[in-house]
Amino acid sequence: MKNLLRFSLAALLCLSACKKNDNTLVLGEFASLTGTTATFGQSMNDGVQLALEDLNKNGGLLGKKVEIVVEDDQSKPDEAKTAVLKLIKQNEIKALIGEVASSRSLAAAPEAQKNKIPMISPASTNPKVTQVGDYIFRACFVDTFQGSSMARFAYNDLNLRKVAILYDIKNDYSVGLMEFFEKTFKELGGEIVEKQSYSEGDIEFRAQLTAIKSQDPQAIYVPGYYTEVGLIARQARDLGINIPLMGGDGWDSVKTVEIGGPAVEGSYYSNHYSAEDPSPVIQDFIKKYQAKFGKVPDAMAVLGYDAANILFDAIKRAGSSEGPKIRDAMAATANFQGVSGSITMDPQRDAKKKIVILKIEGGKVKFHKALDPS
Query: Can you give the binding site for ligand PHE, defined by CB under 6 A?
Result: 40, 100-102, 123-126, 173, 249-250, 252, 299-300
* Beta-carbon contacts of residue 161 (< 8 Å; ≥ 6 apart): 155, 189, 190, 191, 218
Minimum CB separation of residue 123 from ligand PHE in Å reads 3
For the chain, the distance separating the N- and C-terminal CA atoms, rounded to the nearest angstrom, is 70
Residue 40 or 137: the one with the smaller Cβ distance to ligand PHE is 40
Minimum CB separation of residue 82 from ligand PHE in Å reads 19
Minimum CB separation of residue 46 from ligand PHE in Å reads 14
Residue 61 or 285: the one with the smaller Cβ distance to ligand PHE is 285
Residue 267 or 329: the one with the smaller Cβ distance to ligand PHE is 267
The neighbour count for residue 268, using CB atoms within 10 Å, is: 22
124 in Cβ contact with 138 (< 8 Å): yes
Residue 200 or 252: the one with the smaller Cβ distance to ligand PHE is 252
Minimum CB separation of residue 249 from ligand PHE in Å reads 4
Minimum CB separation of residue 349 from ligand PHE in Å reads 15
Sign of CA dihedral 154, 155, 161, 165: positive
Residue 123 or 318: the one with the smaller Cβ distance to ligand PHE is 123
The DSSP 8-state label assigned to residue 164 in this structure reads: E
47 in Cβ contact with 122 (< 8 Å): yes
Query: What distance lies between CA 95 and its chain's CA centroid?
Result: 18
Residue 289 or 318: the one with the smaller Cβ distance to ligand PHE is 289
Minimum CB separation of residue 80 from ligand PHE in Å reads 12
370 in Cβ contact with 356 (< 8 Å): yes
The DSSP 8-state label assigned to residue 244 in this structure reads: P
Minimum CB separation of residue 318 from ligand PHE in Å reads 27
Residue 32 or 213: the one with the smaller Cβ distance to ligand PHE is 32
Instruction: Report CA dihedral (237, 154, 228, 250) to the nearest 10 degrees.
Output: 150
160 in Cβ contact with 219 (< 8 Å): yes
- H and E: helices and strands count for the chain: 13, 14
Q: Give the whole-angstrom CA distance, residue 251 versus residue 270.
A: 9
Bond prior to 191 in cis (omega within 30° of 0): no
Residue 124 or 149: the one with the smaller Cβ distance to ligand PHE is 124
Minimum CB separation of residue 25 from ligand PHE in Å reads 27
